[in-house]
Amino acid sequence: MQMKHLLVALIVLLALVGTAAAVEQVDIRSTILHFDDLPKTIDATSWAGFYYDLDTGVKTESFDVAANGTTKVDITYTTKPTGKDYSFSTWGDKFQVLGFFAEPYVALGKVDGTDFKANKIAKLVIDDDTKYTLKTGSTLELGAGYSLYINQIDVDGNKVYLQFFYNGKEVSDFIAVTSSATPDKWFYNLTVLGDSNRQVLRVGVKSVFQGTESSLVEIEGLWLVDYFNAFEVKSDVDYGKFNCTSASATELIYDAEGVTLEAEMSLNLGKDVYLNTEKKFDAGVHDGADPTLDKDKFYFIKTYTEPGVYKVRSSVALYASSTTYDYDFANFAAFFYDIDSGVDTENLTLDIAASLKVPKDTGLVYTTEAKPIKYSFWTGDEYLIMGLFGDKYVPLQKDDGSLLKAQKMAQLIADDDTKYTLKTGSTYEIGSGYSIYVNQIDVNGDKVYLQFFYNGKEITDNIADTSGGSTDWTYTATVLGENNAQILKVGVKSVFQGTQDSLVEIEGVWLMDYMNATEVKTDDKYGVLKFSDASGGVLKFVLDSDFTMAPDMDKLIANNMYLKTADNSTSGGERFFFYVAYEVGEGSEPTTPPEPPGTTEPPETTEPPETTEPPETTEPTTPPADNEPSFWSKYMWYIIGAIVLIIIIAGVAYYFMVMKKA
């Protein structure tokens, strides 16, 4: 197998595994609201940003949104502690959870679950019923800097000496005593935020025993809050637009009153909760018969930037025999939706038959459709866009927006109407390795010589003439066998002489990642789905084989999309939702959604057209690179060859002129 084929095969395999997509941040959108339909209440069932526990159905947060006049809204945020079962059900009691601006916390209380306070909270570090088998001298990392150390095990006495550490410093210790029938437990309490006997740690010690080589202890049941970073919610502390009106032991209430809604706004209300409106927002313009005509739409977004895996989930449902569930952008926030145009493309149908069976082909059907959408800059023109399992793609199309083939696609990298002013010799990084280099500017002729690069290699170039006003540069190529596919579109507004440099204004950039274009083919596998057919710009994927709905499932559907069901050990265990997983990591690269599986060969592209002769210039013809090789490394072998040749010539001359005469 050639190396390029091996690499493609590995990419496909990784895509099928379903690892979370690496991103810089995760934005979780609420359901779409209409100003004309207010008042409305949003809770965890309609916004995946709010805290929700699938197993118990516990939710604690809500937004009450009401109109205030003709262009303003009042938003009231309320959250109350709610009892939740420990994951280790043997303990048989509850602790108090509290969502606080879409992040999970614990209301600190006593070990018996009483005297908890909504205004004194800490992050939950671990709530786990996994069984761990550890030997003497081993450490169990709990997270957030906390750990358990197994200091000593007395097998004869059925004892284990445990130490609890935070950032390498001992906090407390405990000797657990077990028997063949009776496990032990360590409940650790201390004074937190001025309140005594606050429970911060639970450890279930199941047994100690002698293994074949070492003394061992079984730990089953862990619960811990980050009490070192616990904090008190105070009534005199506000968050952005949210003013605290109640911070009692039983509830927290914040009001954001008189928030003015304007077109194309993205307002941080506080705690990374944003309110977004459409570009042509006009309060009261709402046409329920044709949602694309609405001009009063807005929604909330919670932004997460801390490292971790985040689930952008659908609404929660209850499964039962012979029931059909439908999902689109309205009840699955991961699906593509453009609020300005009202365009959505993805739909998912789950059809559960008798005995909770999801049948092959018909039981799970996912479709996505290539739909026209206006450019951010060229508002009179349209291109085709398509969501694919929660990621944004563009099918191959011509520069007039007509479809070439829906099942041949690439990710959309840029659709930008920002104005950039660039000087000669500067590079505009578009993203994902693509860039535009301003090689030369001819101010007198109103021309600019631009070059298009991918990973430092020139793809093509163009001389844009703005003498008649702004002009567009559109680059097309053959991709995956499709001729004249639009790759790049650049709006060149003008060239002019600044106080020190010649400058060019670029306004409007559109680019697809054609170097990594992919094709889905009939019967290609995507997790448990297979590609069925494409008709009229619609791609259809169906279930490849039967499966049965069961408790505590976390089933990969396709790419990073999963089906999650509740644990039936608690009441209401029939709950389920779909979600798409994204991972935020320290130092992660800018968002690049994963390539869909199914690619079997590298993308085919034509050679770039012959370069037009540029105007005379003394500037370099390629962008300056930080890793430009030194003179010695660049010409090392030429220099060595020349030295060797000189030595040979000198030796021959010496032989004939000295040795032979002698």
- Check pLDDT > 50 for residue 12: no
Which whole-number Å values give the CA distances from 138 to 132, 157, 187, 207, 286, in the listed order?
11, 20, 21, 16, 63
Band of the pLDDT at 363, cuts 50, 70, 90?
Answer: very high
Region 133-146 average pLDDT: 96
Q: How many CB atoms lie within 10 A of CB 611?
A: 13
Buried b vs exposed e over 638-655: b needs ≥16 C-beta within 10 Å? eeeeeeeeeeeeeeeeee
β-sheet bridge partners, residue 79:
61, 252
- Check pLDDT > 60 for residue 107: yes
Region 624-648 average pLDDT: 57
Q: What are the tokens at 304?
A: 């997460």
The predicted-structure confidence for 582-608, as pLDDT tens digits, reads as follows: 998 754 433 333 333 333 333 333 333
The more confidently predicted of residues 613 and 173 is 173
User: How remote is the C-alpha of 390 from its chain's centroid?
Assistant: 10
Mean pLDDT, the chain, as a whole number?
87
User: d(Cα 539, Cα 387) in Å, to the nearest integer?
Assistant: 11
Region 496-515 average pLDDT: 95
The predicted-structure confidence for 538-551, as pLDDT tens digits, reads as follows: 999 999 999 999 99
- Check pLDDT > 70 for residue 70: yes
- Check pLDDT > 90 for residue 371: yes
| Closest among 311, 87, 122, 264 to 199, alpha carbons compared | 122
β-sheet bridge partners, residue 239:
242
The number of CA neighbours under 13 Å toward the Cβ of 632 is 0
Amino acid at 315: S
> Are the C-beta atoms of residues 151 and 135 closer than 8 Å to each other?
no
| Closest among 599, 607, 603, 606 to 478, alpha carbons compared | 606
- Check pLDDT > 80 for residue 141: yes
Q: What is the number of helices (H) and of strands (E) in the chain?
A: 2, 52
Q: Quick one: pLDDT at residue 654?
A: 63
Which whole-number Å values give the CA distances from 145 to 190, 205, 228, 415, in the listed order?
18, 21, 10, 42
Percent of the chain with pLDDT over 90: 72
Q: What are the tokens at 351?
A: 């059809």
C-alpha distance across the termini of the chain, in Å = 64
How is the chain split among helix, strand and coil, in percent rounded to 5?
10, 55, 40
Residue 94 parent element (H or E): strand 94-99
Please state whether 608 falls in left (phi above 0), alpha (psi between -120 and 50) or beta.
beta
Buried b vs exposed e over 400-411: b needs ≥16 C-beta within 10 Å? eeeebbbbbbbb
- Check pLDDT > 70 for residue 6: no
* Lowest mean pLDDT across 263-272, 469-478, 620-629: 620-629
Please state whether 194 falls in left (phi above 0), alpha (psi between -120 and 50) or beta.
left
| Closest among 394, 400, 430, 398 to 414, alpha carbons compared | 430
What CATH number does the domain located at 410-516 have? Answer: 2.60.98.40
β-sheet bridge partners, residue 208:
217
- Give φ, ψ of 401 to 5 degrees: 85, 5
Please state whether 69 falls in left (phi above 0), alpha (psi between -120 and 50) or beta.
left
Region 289-317 average pLDDT: 88
Q: What are the tokens at 584?
A: 């935020």
CA atoms 550, 554, 556, 557: torsion sign:
positive
Q: How many CB atoms lie within 10 A of CB 306?
A: 11
Q: Quick one: pLDDT at residue 637?
A: 61
Q: Quick one: pLDDT at residue 492?
A: 97
- Check pLDDT > 80 for residue 617: no
- Check pLDDT > 80 for residue 572: no
**Which residues have CB under 8 Å from 429's CB, separation 6+?**
435
SS (H, E, C) 446-502: CEEEEEEEECCEEEEEEEEECCCCCEEEEEEEEECCEEEEEEEEEEEEEEEECCCCE
Q: Quick one: pLDDT at residue 643?
A: 74
Q: Quick one: pLDDT at residue 619?
A: 35
Residue count (the chain): 662
- Check pLDDT > 70 for residue 124: yes
The predicted-structure confidence for 180-225, as pLDDT tens digits, reads as follows: 778 999 999 999 999 999 999 999 999 999 988 899 999 999 999 9
Which whole-number Å values give the CA distances from 194 to 165, 202, 298, in the listed order?
22, 21, 42
> Are the C-beta atoms of residues 15 and 9 closer than 8 Å to each other?
no
Region 385-393 average pLDDT: 92
> Are the C-beta atoms of residues 526 and 597 closer than 8 Å to each other?
yes
Per CATH, domain 92-117+120-232 is 2.60.98.40: yes
The three-point CA angle 40-46-48 to 5° equals 135
